[in-house]
Structure 1
Amino acid sequence: MRRVGFTRRYAVSVAVAGCLVVGASGTGYGAGPGSEAVEVERLYREAAAAVQAHEVARKAVARGREKVGRLRAAEAAEAARLAQLREVMGEFARGQYRGSGGGLGYTLLLVSAESPEQMMERVSLARRGGHATASLLTRVRESRARLARDRAESARVLGALKGEFARQSAARDRIEGKLKEAQERLRAAEAARRTAFAAAAAARAGKAGGGWAPAGGAPGPACGSGADVEPLGSRPRKPSDRAGTPKWVKPVDPAPMSSGFADSGGRWRHRHTGQDFAVFDGEPVRAVGDGTVHFIGCGDGFGNQVILRHANGYFTQYAHLSVFGVRTGQRVAAGETIGLSGRTGNVSGPHLHFEVRVTPQLGSGINPLPWLREHGVAL
């Protein structure tokens, strides 16, 4: 395929190209008539609320982990300080016992003084030693109290952290359940619609003497012919070998942005579910981070698409591709080319549609730009 380079002069004309219809169902044909469509919409709204709850819990978990880290560092420092104080106390006690530490030894030191001045000096030293001992004991008690407080706070934060983990897990389960139900309803509605379409086509063909065919054929997403995996150049080294390479990168570079997350208008049935990047046909599309290819194929309005699963539990989607460069189950590295940009699916022109999802299913997406910023990627 001929590669077309991106220049600033063409940025405006490319930016207007976008996803024509990517709604809750991911298709341009709707979820079904009447109450079925309303029910699907309700399920997607509930899934969206669960996604928000998941993100709130995730951020709380992240804050809790940071706080536990600080508390554990404080515990370790206080434990080391307490050990040092105890060592100093032991050494001080041994010194007092060997020298003027009280009892018979202390009395002998006073009696053996050669002058009243020397005796008073020894008394003063003994008193200072007593003050030092009392001060050390106070510091030990304070250190023990601080250590106990730190440990109690760590236990409290860890308990709260477990609760946030449970809430995050429950939110993920709700998302998956709602989206699974919505997609089952959509599949049933689509099957019924196609059956009705075929019956209508057969009836019309019979009336026309067998020579009639509906213009354009049966409805469905256009995926293009670039569905085969093609070699896209040399693969980068494994993540552990890539010294100095950032862990997370842009999906395309340069990355001129067009339609954003949650945009609405005439091009979408509902709201836009990802971030579009205004690139021409044939631009390299890169994995934003190390991961595994969870899905590759042609489906719904996204056309040719790749979905990656990352170690942090999130999924990233790369849609409207012209060519695939990876296979399902393949491990990829951050920055590795996984395909080439294109215009497959329901689009008005070439671009990359990029999503970050809580689950691999459409409907669990979050705003990709803040997520990328959290991972050190500025756009």
Structure 2
Amino acid sequence: MQSGHMLIEEPVRLASVLAPTKEKFFPSLTKIVATLGPKSRSVETLEKCLKAGMSVARFDFSSFNSAYHQETLDNLKKAIENVQELCAVMLDTVGPELQVKNATGEPIVLEAGNHVTITPDCSKAASSEIFPLNFNGLAKAVKAGDTIFMGQYLFTGSETTSVWLEVKEISGEDVVCEIKNAATLAGPIFTLHAAQVRIDLPTLSETDKQIISTWGVHNKVDIISLSFTRHAEDVRELRAFLKSHNLGDTQIFAKVEDFEGLEHFDEILQEADGIILSRGDLGIDLPPQDVFLFQKSAMRRCNIAGKPAIITRVVDSMVNNLRPTRAEATDVANAVLDGTDGILLGAETLRGPYAVDAIKTVSRICGEGRDGIQPATGV
């Protein structure tokens, strides 16, 4: 075996995988960030989440209002006191998110090959033929041939609840698209993402500033996840804003999730306290074969800089299932071996019925990932 290669100890290690997993005295060093929501906000469930390995509670302001999140946080504080486990609080900003509002809430059925128009005229009702968007600059940003992705849960990868659109023509402020896959969009709001297209909206929106200056200040949040960080200046702007509101100790984790953030990654890394690699969004801006290349390269840069890195979209199948796929479990372990400092769970804990199991499962995989592979001793 060449020096520097890794191997699994044999024969003891291979035989040991058949034995029941032993509880470790020391927990995994990889932190679990859990997004709190409808399925994970009661005191009882939060106690179980903390015992299962949740180290950071994420409050995503893309969903629900401040009052809802405050009630959840108050429950978390009770759970922390009851089980005597520490847990940091992360505020996730909305950022320049594009949304199509479906006022009726009725499902919209889309057929492949048909055309749909995206318009900034929000007085129009969403239908299979028109999507009213909360942004009037899309027609200037895209061109024929560009790809647009849209859905209620945008980055689940499900072809039945999200839709791929190809821009066909620009008509004034409207964008006419061809539907590339049959889908049924359900819910009151659909999120829209245009692949490798710069959206002329501020990274730190006025809504974000209002949330931070009220909810964030009131709760003295530990971490702010800055969604759609595209430039180092985005981090500097947020840091100045935090200092002006007596939140100088709050850490900033830059969420890199599009091609602009990728292009300016090294500068962003210098300014941020940590990085979140948002693989869901990146999976739209990048072809699948390039996502893992960016992940490994970015992870190495974070490790060299001595700054924590968190990855997302690891066990999506656990939104609906008790166990992850084999590929997902291996993905988590490989991320740990590459130096990942944290795993972020989104829909798995936000709305999935197996929130506690998702945390417990990922925590166990992280623990095995740290201990299961040993350096080769041969030369």
Q: Same fold (TM over 0.5)?
A: no
Relative contact order (C-alpha < 8 Å, sep 6+): which is higher?
1
Greater percentage in helix: 1
Normalization by structure 1: what TM-score?
A: 0.20
Greater percentage in strand: 2
